[in-house]
């Protein structure tokens, strides 16, 4: 049987078997609606309250500051659009030039509604120009939104510094933490007003996420219904998903991240040996990310070639990979069109060993030689 190597963990992760087992209980046994007043409903309510505490603790938040959503995209929409509905007279939004489409597409819509959207540039390493953020904030600014870890090349932003600047200037700060939540330390009390996260990036289920809203920050709902989640996100709570998300956080605390980083660094060394160019900061980079360019190679063709060999990588973020356009974040850090076209993203997990790295790189090397234009 051909061995497979899944190297696309920034897109989604395999649900941990212990997470699946936890979820099954809420599909088959404790399946009550949390809004029901009978025993099964009350038990479901108690369980999601426990999960809310576990998830809140992960970012040093209060349980009532956590709102359950269907994932990162919905969380980002509620954060930006909900805040805009609460403060309709503030017509300026500041984002980085590295944001996920679930931020940039909202902002594109806002532009058609008369908002001024300011995209802050980054340096060649992928660091957001914090001084430019500080200069741009004024009395008309609705919020600043900067993702914690870039979903393409994994660079970590100093969200504490950005958040504190926003706080000092009386502006709301939101961060898309989908790629960092449950992987690196986050303290919501240090400058963060709103934060978005998703379960399926940390071996939890798809279809569940959170929006953290600091106590005192006012947002309005986008949809109306039964008033669940304090009226911010109506609809029957996804109890199995919520419980699976909480379980994934508990399991994730035991992951040996230093081991993953060591394998990642070996991977980078081997890719550079065969002529790969690593994109983005090496120092401020999440421990499992590699983004590499090969000259005169079409990344989409390379991805398909490797897929036939049982090696699964990505030619960009999952949300953009089928659009056939150069990724904005790669342009932002100064990659040429040729470099962008020949770029792949590799995101590993704890199951990739150093001995597997040599085999994978050998297959990449063969493919690159074969596919060079």
The domain 17-252 is placed in CATH, from the list 3.40.640.10, 3.40.50.300, 3.40.1280.10, 3.10.180.10, at: 3.40.640.10
Nearest to 137 by CA among 106, 93, 176, 104: 93
On average, the pLDDT of the chain sits at 95
The dihedral sign for the CA sequence 78, 81, 84, 88? negative
Contact residues for 129 (Cβ-Cβ < 8 A; gap 6+): 120, 121, 122, 123
Q: What is the pLDDT of residues 26-80, one digit of tens each?
A: 999 999 999 999 999 999 999 999 999 999 999 999 999 999 999 999 999 999 9
Structure tokens at 100: 């996920």
237 conformational bin, left if phi > 0, alpha if psi -120 to 50, beta if neither = beta
Rounded Cα distance, 195 and 65, in Å: 10
pLDDT tier, 7 (very low <50, low <70, confident <90, very high otherwise): very high
pLDDT reported for residue 314: 95
SS in 3 state form for the chain? CCCCEECECCCCCCCCHHHHHHHHHHHHCCCCCCCCCCHHHHHHHHHHHHHHHHHHHHCCCCHHHEEEECCHHHHHHHHHHHHHHHCCCCCEEEEECCCCHHHHHHHHHHHHCCCEEEEECECCCCCECHHHHHHHCCCCEEEEECCCECCCCCEECCHHHHHHHHHHCCCEEEEECCCCCCCCCCCCCCCCCEEEEEHHHCCCCCCCEEEEECCCCCCCCCCCCCCCHHHCCCCCCCHHHHHHHHHHHHHHCCCCHHHHHHHHHHHHHHHHHCCCEECCCCCCECCCEEEEECCCCCHHHHHHHHHHCCEECECCCCCCCCCCCCCHHHHHCCCCHHHHHCEEEEECCCCCCHHHHHHHHHHHHHHHHHHCC
Domain 5-14+255-371 part of CATH 3.40.50.1980? no
Nearest to 332 by CA among 195, 185, 157, 192: 157
Residue with more model confidence, 372 or 225: 225
Task: Break the chain into its structural domains and give their ranges.
Answer: 5-14+255-371, 17-252
- Among 40, 118, 319, 338, the active-site one is 319
Q: What is the pLDDT of residues 119-152, one digit of tens each?
A: 999 999 999 999 999 999 999 999 999 999 999 9
Q: What is the pLDDT of residues 297-324, one digit of tens each?
A: 999 999 999 999 999 999 965 565 554 4
Q: What is the pLDDT of residues 335-344, one digit of tens each?
A: 999 999 999 9
Mean of pLDDT values over 315-334: 69
pLDDT reported for residue 2: 72
pLDDT reported for residue 132: 98
Query: Which pTM was predicted?
Result: 0.95
How much of the chain exceeds pLDDT 70, in percent? 97
pLDDT tier, 11 (very low <50, low <70, confident <90, very high otherwise): very high
Rounded Cα distance, 13 and 204, in Å: 8
Mean of pLDDT values over 74-103: 98
Mean of pLDDT values over 175-203: 98
Rounded Cα distance, 104 and 111, in Å: 10
Cα dihedral 366, 342, 126, 204 in deg (nearest 10): -70
Query: With 60 as the cut, is the pLDDT of residue 279 above it?
Result: yes
Mean of pLDDT values over 209-232: 96
pLDDT reported for residue 317: 57
Number of neighbours of residue 354 by Cβ within 10 angstroms: 12
Indicate if 166 belongs to the active site: no
């Amino acid at each position: 049987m051909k061995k497979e190597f899944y190297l696309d963990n920034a897109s989604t992760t395999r649900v941990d078997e212990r997470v699946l087992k936890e979820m099954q209980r809420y599909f088959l046994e404790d399946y009550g609606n949390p809004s029901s007043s009978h025993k099964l409903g009350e038990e479901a309510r108690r369980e999601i309250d426990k999960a809310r505490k576990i998830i809140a603790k992960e970012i040093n938040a209060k349980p009532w500051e956590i709102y359950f959503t269907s994932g990162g995209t919905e969380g980002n929409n509620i954060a930006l659009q909900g805040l805009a509905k609460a403060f309709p007279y503030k017509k300026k939004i500041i984002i980085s030039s590295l944001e996920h489409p679930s931020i940039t597409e909202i902002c594109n819509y806002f532009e058609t509604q008369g908002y001024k959207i300011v995209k802050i540039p980054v340096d060649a390493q992928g660091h957001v120009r914090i001084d430019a953020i500080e200069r741009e904030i004024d009395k008309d600014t609705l919020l600043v939104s900067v993702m914690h870890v870039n979903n393409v090349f994994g660079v970590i932003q100093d969200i504490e510094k950005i958040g504190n600047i926003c706080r000092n200037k009386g502006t709301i700060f939101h961060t898309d933490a989908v790629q960092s939540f449950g992987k690196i330390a986050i303290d919501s009390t240090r400058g963060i007003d709103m934060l978005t996260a998703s379960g399926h990036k940390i071996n939890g289920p798809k279809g569940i996420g959170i929006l953290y809203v600091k106590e005192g920050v006012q947002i309005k709902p986008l949809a109306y219904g039964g008033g669940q989640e304090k009226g911010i996100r109506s609809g029957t709570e996804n109890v199995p998903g919520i419980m699976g998300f909480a379980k994934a956080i508990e399991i994730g605390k035991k992951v040996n991240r230093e081991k993953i980083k060591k394998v990642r660094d070996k991977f980078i060394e081997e890719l550079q040996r065969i002529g790969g160019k690593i994109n983005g900061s090496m120092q401020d980079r999440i421990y499992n990310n590699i983004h590499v360019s090969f000259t005169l190679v079409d990344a989409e063709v390379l991805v398909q070639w490797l897929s036939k060999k049982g090696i699964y990588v990505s030619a960009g973020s999952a949300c953009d990979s089928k659009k056939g356009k150069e990724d904005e974040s790669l342009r932002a850090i100064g990659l040429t069109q040729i470099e962008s076209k020949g770029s792949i993203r590799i995101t590993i997990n704890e199951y990739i060993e150093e001995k597997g790295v040599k085999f994978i790189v050998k297959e990449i090397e063969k493919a690159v030689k074969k596919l060079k234009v």
